[in-house]
Amino acid sequence: MIYLNELNDKQREAASRIEGPVLVIAGAGSGKTKTITTRIANMIATGIDSQSILAVTFTNKAAKEMKERIHKTLSQGKNPVNSMPFVGTFHSFCVRFLREELKSNFVIYDSDDQLSLIKGAMKELEIDDKQFKPSSVQAAISSAKNEMLSAEKFSQKAEGYFQETIAKVFKKYEDELEKANSLDFDDLLSKTVTLLETKPEILEKYQERYKYITVDEYQDTNFAQYKIINMLARKYRNLCVVGDDQQSIYSFRGADFRNILNFEKDYPEAKIVLLEENYRSTKTILNAANKVISKNTVKRDKNLWTQNADGCLINAVLSSNERQEADFAATEIKRLAREERTKLSQCCIMYRTNAQSRAAEEALIKNQLPYQLIGGLRFYERKEIKDILAYVRMVFNPKDQISIQRVLNVPTRGMGKYEKIYGQIVARLLSGKTEPLETAGDVVPLETGPHINNSLFPHFAIDGHDTKNNDLKLKESLGVRGKKLELLKKFADLINEIKSATTAESGSLTHLIKNIVSKTNYEQHLVADYQDAENRIENIKELFSVTSTYDHLPLEEGLKSFLENTALVSDTDNIDEYSDKVQVMTVHASKGLEFDAVFVLAMEEGVFPHSRSSLNPAELEEERRLCYVAITRARKHLYLMFAMRRRLFGAVLANSPSRFLFDIPQELVSYRQLNDISDGLLEIEY
């Protein structure tokens, strides 16, 4: 195949091995994506059915790039490209799998939705959110699901007050998800595992469907992802995994780099290929990275090398504080743009934690440099977009309590504060049901007790009936009457009207959202209540641009695809590749990216490496891998910054320089100290 000639010897070896298990250890900048996409194209060109190939990765951006490269490579051949294999994220594969096997219009709850549900569960269980932070509870539940622990299993294993409390919330949270016909991100993985484990006929179907499997960034897989892949590959064993244990930086979200280290134990017959030639960085940058990572003890040995030039020395820059540090970075970016014609988009300021972005943003604004903050407020997290999406999800899934509660009073409809009660009534009305809820206690906040108390709820009336009697009609059992009942019915009628109007017009997704905006008077609501209404309306118009790409599909199918894709968007998917702006992000977010110039802020003990790693060797090794990732993002220029004093997390820190700086041989570094002057930078001392 002609395109195999474009690979180096090791890349070609990996791309040519089709049958059996293959482990490709791909160092930073070694052409990993080119290798695996050429390998997939080679499989198709040699006669393997594209529909029998499954390729999974971790971001939509990576999946898109893989698909484009496979198509481009195949287009070089004589035969037309008739069909493409499935290439997507783990979560997108699981969504497709669950849709097919569960035959359900479930909604995927994002992290904000999950947090809302957890807060509601904690409130009903009378758990103090100051003693138990909802975000910590959310993380604990997520961790349990990634370890394939159900609420029941978690409860059985729970030890101590903390875990026992988490178990109670976990059970309530799962009950609420089921009522709303919703899944969270972790469910997508865990429920896929459960179905494959408990339904042999389903497992066999997918083993026969996907006889050839490729996994990108295998070092980032968690336990559930590991199980999915290895169950699917068990029969034919045509599994190719690609990754680098030295770039494993996501243990906080369950990633286990031992999966890649133990691949040969799982597949003793595996072919091992090392990609060690780096095409990205200068020799100086690469040598620095190799020295830093060499201090780790748990790793697969390899020696990353390059034919690139030595390049300039690494800049280690000492400033007096975080403001001067950020000012220097901004000033240096302007110099690179002026003197070396470096594009702003090829300059990246990165840091260990999101809290450090403030100083960088202020410096860029001061220097009139446009920038893009990755990991900030994403498009789909903006209030107006989430409001519109909540309406869309209600049309798709009338049981979606979180969405109903979010927009029940948006725009204002005089509903009062009892969103959960009203939400459950609306869900019933949307489903065409008038029978009572299971118990009165299901709709009354916990603090009011299991009975409807007219003194606590003056807009409710008992009408002389026992509220525990399940034979009562909806209106009687809940006692909702008069204006409140009419408002709830009116809201349910509005949602049904929007759905009917859309179907009558064209059935397109864009028409649905335009009807939502129009019939709810949402733009008028923005104008009346927000000073930045114009910007918010522009965001909604931008949403039309997104939804128009789904308008060729039938409404229900378009709805499914759109909601799935928006739910699975990651931070790096929002990078605008066509605008010339300085990129600002955490080191974690920079994984898989590369830039001409990289500025790493706050290279100080307690910040980078993080303070929590000081007493934990495993965490310190991950911090070193994180530093390795930061260094290897740079092509030409690398700036490692540290300050004498730093205001962070409400305190002034005076930390020593990061130990990682001392890992780099001095002959590779140019040390600079900035003058400590009140008004900024006059000159640089060498």
Q: Which residue has the tokens 């009011």?
A: 448
Cβ proximity of 184 and 114 under 8 Å: yes
C-alpha–C-alpha distance, residues 389 and 397, integer Å: 12
Catalytic residue, chosen from 10, 11, 12, 32, is: 32
* Partner residues linked to 271 by β-bridges: 22
Neighbour-count burial for 41-53, b at 16+ CB within 10 Å, e otherwise: bbbbbeebebebb
| Residue 557 structure tokens | 């199918």
Catalytic residue, chosen from 6, 17, 33, 619, is: 33
C-alpha–C-alpha distance, residues 499 and 502, integer Å: 5
Dihedral over Cα of 395, 401, 407, 409: its sign? positive
201 catalytic residue (yes or no): no
33 catalytic residue (yes or no): yes
216 catalytic residue (yes or no): yes
Catalytic residue, chosen from 11, 37, 89, 247, is: 247
Per-residue pLDDT at 402 = 85
Neighbour-count burial for 426-455, b at 16+ CB within 10 Å, e otherwise: bbbbbeeeeebbeebbebbbeebeeebeee
353 catalytic residue (yes or no): no
pTM for this model (two decimals): 0.77
For the beta carbon of residue 132, count every other beta carbon within 10 angstroms: 18
Catalytic residue, chosen from 34, 39, 211, 633, is: 633
Catalytic residue, chosen from 176, 186, 216, 244, is: 216
* Partner residues linked to 582 by β-bridges: 371
In 553-594, which ranges are E strands? 582-586
The region that residue 388 occupies, defined by phi over 0 for left and psi between -120 and 50 for alpha, beta otherwise, is alpha
Per-residue pLDDT at 610 = 92
pLDDT tens sequence across 160-199: 999 999 999 999 999 999 988 999 999 999 999 999 999 9
C-alpha–C-alpha distance, residues 467 and 452, integer Å: 7
123 catalytic residue (yes or no): no
Q: Which residues of the chain have pLDDT under 70?
A: 1-2, 77-81, 376-379, 416-420, 433-483, 504-506, 569-578, 649-650, 676-686
Cβ proximity of 7 and 39 under 8 Å: no
Per-residue pLDDT at 461 = 33
247 catalytic residue (yes or no): yes
Per-residue pLDDT at 397 = 84
